[in-house]
Amino acid sequence: MILYFSGTGNSAYVAKRIGKMINDEVVHLFEKIKDNDFSPLQSKRPWVIVVPTYAWRIPRIVEYWLKNTPLQGNQDIYFVMTCGGSIGNAGKYIEKLCQNIKMNNRGCMEIIMPENYIAMFSTPTKEEASKIIDRAEKVIDLAAVCIKNGQSFKHPNVSFNDKISSSVINKLFYPLFVHAKKFYVLDDCISCGACESECPVGAISMGDDHYQINADECISCGACAGVCPVGAPKEA
């Protein structure tokens, strides 16, 4: 079973493509996370977790969900991480997580996709994005073939900078950027409510005259910006 978390669409794309290639069920985790649904899941086939990279590791909200949700049946688990540049030393923390939840870690694959995390980075041009996607498709194919054949992902090379990024910088990044009032809603909001139902952490609610984001709850996933018909959610 493929479980994915995606705010801006990259991880959703990768998860669905792998699902199609290996002919396996694909489940979006937003609803389960939003509803605090930690009920056990069953799969005879390996688990594949597809997530964006938050500060060179998997999103903490997904890690928390995995720690609290029994994954029953097959005990092999693969991780596929989309990113705009690098997943750093995320594999080390995935191994710790797998030991914690008693699953067999089959490795972590980095898929570099066009940067679309508008809260922090500028997005590539159409031409640049198309080249990045062409390269990504080959890596997605490789991931799907490995999973289909029961092979572990190749262990990636990890540099000193990768180690620093996933440890010290990760600890700094979360309070500074993930919970730092990055998203807010403009007066352009037409109160359609689409973002409220999309937000995985329930950070959006109706205010006095339009919808608003509770900055203390927002994890800067970008999902609200992706569904808004008038582009009202903006990054600070």
Query: Of these, 30, 56, 65, 211, which contacts ligand SF4 (CB under 6 A)?
Result: 211
Query: Of these, 145, 168, 176, 190, which contacts ligand SF4 (CB under 6 A)?
Result: 190
Site for ligand SF4 in 169-188 (CB under 6 A): 183, 185
Using the contact rule CB under 6 A, the part of the chain among 40-48, 73-81, 104-112, 190-198 near ligand SF4 is 190-198
Which amino acid is located at 20 in the chain? K
Q: Tell the smallest beta-carbon distance from residue 132 to ligand SF4 (Å).
A: 23
- Identify the bridge partners of residue 72 per DSSP, sorted by sequence position: 42
| Token pair of 192 as six digits | 């359609």
Q: Tell the smallest beta-carbon distance from residue 28 to ligand SF4 (Å).
A: 13
Site for ligand SF4 in 1-30 (CB under 6 A): 7
Helix (H, G, I), strand (E, B) or coil at 123: coil
| Token pair of 110 as six digits | 């980095």
147-153 contacts, C-beta under 8 A, 24 or more apart: 147/18, 147/22, 147/46, 147/48, 147/78, 147/106, 148/21, 148/22, 150/46, 150/76, 152/106, 152/107, 153/78, 153/106, 153/107, 153/108, 153/109
Using the contact rule CB under 6 A, the part of the chain among 21-29, 41-49, 144-152, 195-203 near ligand SF4 is 195-203
Under the criterion CB under 6 A, does residue 232 sit at the interface with ligand SF4? yes
Which amino acid is located at 103 in the chain? M
Query: Of these, 42, 161, 191, 205, which contacts ligand SF4 (CB under 6 A)?
Result: 191
Under the criterion CB under 6 A, does residue 118 sit at the interface with ligand SF4? no
70 CB-near residues (< 8 Å, 6+ apart): 40, 41
Can you give the binding site for ligand SF4, defined by CB under 6 A?
A: 7, 183, 185, 189-195, 198-199, 201, 203-204, 210-211, 213, 218-224, 227-230, 232-233
